[in-house]
Amino acid sequence: MTEPAPLPVLYQDVALAVVGKPAGLMVHDSALARGVTEFAADHLRAQFGRPIHLVHRLDRATSGCLLLAFDRDTASALGKMLMSREVEKDYWAICRGWPAEREFVVDHPLDGGPGKPQKKEARTAFEVLATCELPLPSAGFPTSRYAWLRASPHTGRFRQIRRHLKHLSHHLIGDSSHGDGRHNRQFRMLGIHRMLLHARRLAFLHPQTGARIEVTAPVDAEFARALALFGPQPAAGVV
């Protein structure tokens, strides 16, 4: 059996690390796994050769910054910082349509997913980074419009960004659960098969030293191909 490739380490010290999770890798075993046998948690324990504590989760289809701790005290401190919204989290997303405003906030309660019907506060700030119009027929129009967004969730609900975009009818491209199948097919024809949501940046104060840690994760080849549709952009400078 071939050993899995190590996950890229974006930041590491004695207490914690940030790794780049690839799209398609589930973070850990859960009721949603449905026969999945490979998990980031197992890979990371083997990769670091020590116990690890995942501080948060990313959806299987989402790529990018994944924060972990090497001891329970650091994990607990980081978890409290997440709960109190002291950790900055920015995602890149590509959606259908052009939002009416360059910056906007979605404040729309969400349930907790399967088996958790109670709705709770859910808030996401969005910023349009770029737009494009492609010669792809859709809904009777000869072209289709898309937007590249920065999404900053202020809460951590189940599939929050994906569901907030659906609520706006600006469906996330490649999202098979909450997206728009017509546009997903258009992107597959362009050779882009993944869900276009990427955990781009994490920033927080180190729970032991107080130093500010800021980490960004590069996109993979498919996401880069999608960004290229927006023409020349200063992507490296867009945080």
Q: What is the pLDDT of residue 2?
A: 54
Rounded to an integer, the average pLDDT of 103-108 is 97
Write down the pTM of the prediction: 0.92
pLDDT-wise least confident of 68-77, 114-123, 157-166, 230-239 = 230-239
Q: Residue 1: its pLDDT value, please? A: 44
Higher pLDDT, 186 or 34: 186
Mean pLDDT of the chain: 92
* Region for residue 105 given its phi and psi (left: phi exceeds 0; alpha: psi -120 to 50; beta: otherwise): beta
Give me the helices (H) in the chain, please: 40-48, 72-83, 160-167, 181-189, 221-228
**Is the separation of the CB atoms in 94 and 173 below 8 Å?**
yes
User: Which among 144, 172, 140, 145 is positioned nearest to 159, based on CA atoms?
Assistant: 172
Instruction: Check: CB of residue 158 under 8 Å from CB of residue 116.
Output: yes
**Candidate from 73-77, 134-138, 157-161 with smallest mean pLDDT:** 134-138
Query: 31-40, 80-89, 93-102: lowest mean pLDDT where?
Result: 31-40
List the structure tokens of 188. Answer: 């597959």
Q: Which residues are catalytic?
A: 59
In order, the DSSP letters of 176-199 are TTTS-HHHHHHHHHTT--S--EEE
Distance CA 232, CA 223 (A): 15
